[in-house]
């Protein structure tokens, strides 16, 4: 089996995501914030499966879950959900800034996937993707805040209080 090297971009970013998670995670809160990862995976699979079935874009990968790259789903999507839940600011204004920063970083990563060739826009474009990313991260922030995942297990001293 001869797999083109560019398809390993998903695996590389999965390793990076897990490496960052292992360095930054608050292990005492993981049993609460792991649900942030689960929610992110569900949102990502809903958006990607719908968009791919509508032929808005296509994914070139090695292993798939539904229509998405398995390594993206269990790598970046899962780990970013946990980290966002653990580091979410408590004020609405800082949450808004957090959403904008995460959307920008996520959109940059998506742009790099396009340049590498593992993601191809068919009937889609970068501005539309930024808008959907903004909606997804806003929804995710609301869910995490509403469910209290960003506060669950947080000690009075320490933790991330912004």
pLDDT digits (tens, 9 = 90+) for 69-119: 999 999 999 999 999 999 999 889 999 999 999 999 999 999 999 999 999
Interval 5-41: pLDDT, tens: 788 899 999 999 999 999 999 999 899 899 999 999 9
Give residues with Cβ within 8 angstroms of 98, minimum separation 6: 84, 87, 88, 89, 141
DSSP state of 75: I
Contacts of residue 8, defined as CB under 8 A and 6 or more positions apart, other chains included, come to 62
- Segment 42-64 shows an average pLDDT of 94
* pLDDT exceeds cutoff 90 at 2: no
pLDDT at 22: 96
Say if residues 48 and 69 touch (Cβ distance below 8 Å).
no
Closest CA to 26 of 111, 126, 162, 150: 150
How much is the pLDDT for 155? 53
Q: What was the pLDDT predicted at 6?
A: 83
pLDDT at 157: 46
* pLDDT tens by residue, 42-51: 999 999 999 9
With 0-12 / 13-18 / 19 or more C-beta atoms within 10 angstroms meaning exposed / middle / buried, residue 9 is buried
What is the percentage of the chain residues whose pLDDT exceeds 90?
78
Tell me which residue of 132, 143, 124, 127 sits closest to 84, measured CA to CA.
Answer: 143
133: Cβ–Cβ under 8 A, 6 or more apart, which residues? Answer: 103, 106, 107, 110
Q: What is the pLDDT of residue 154?
A: 58
pLDDT number for residue 5: 79
pLDDT over 50 at 162, yes or no: no
CA distances from 64 to 16, 49, 68, 83, 88 (A): 19, 11, 5, 24, 30
SS3 88: coil
């Amino acid at each position: 089996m001869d797999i083109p090297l560019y398809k390993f971009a998903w695996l590389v970013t999965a390793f990076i995501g897990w490496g960052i998670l292992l360095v930054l995670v608050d292990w005492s809160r993981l049993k609460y914030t792991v649900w942030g990862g689960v929610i992110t995976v569900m949102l990502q699979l809903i958006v990607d499966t719908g968009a791919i079935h509508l032929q808005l874009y296509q994914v070139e990968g090695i292993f798939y879950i539904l229509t998405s790259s398995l390594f993206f789903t269990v790598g970046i999507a899962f780990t970013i959900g946990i980290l966002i839940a653990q580091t979410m600011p408590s004020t609405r204004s800082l949450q808004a800034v957090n959403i904008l920063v995460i959307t920008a970083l996520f959109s940059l990563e998506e742009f790099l996937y396009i340049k590498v060739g593992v993601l191809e826009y068919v009937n889609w474009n970068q501005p539309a993707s930024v808008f959907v990313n903004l909606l997804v991260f806003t929804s995710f922030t609301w869910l995490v805040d509403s469910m209290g995942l960003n506060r669950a297990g947080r000690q009075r001293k320490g933790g991330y209080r912004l």
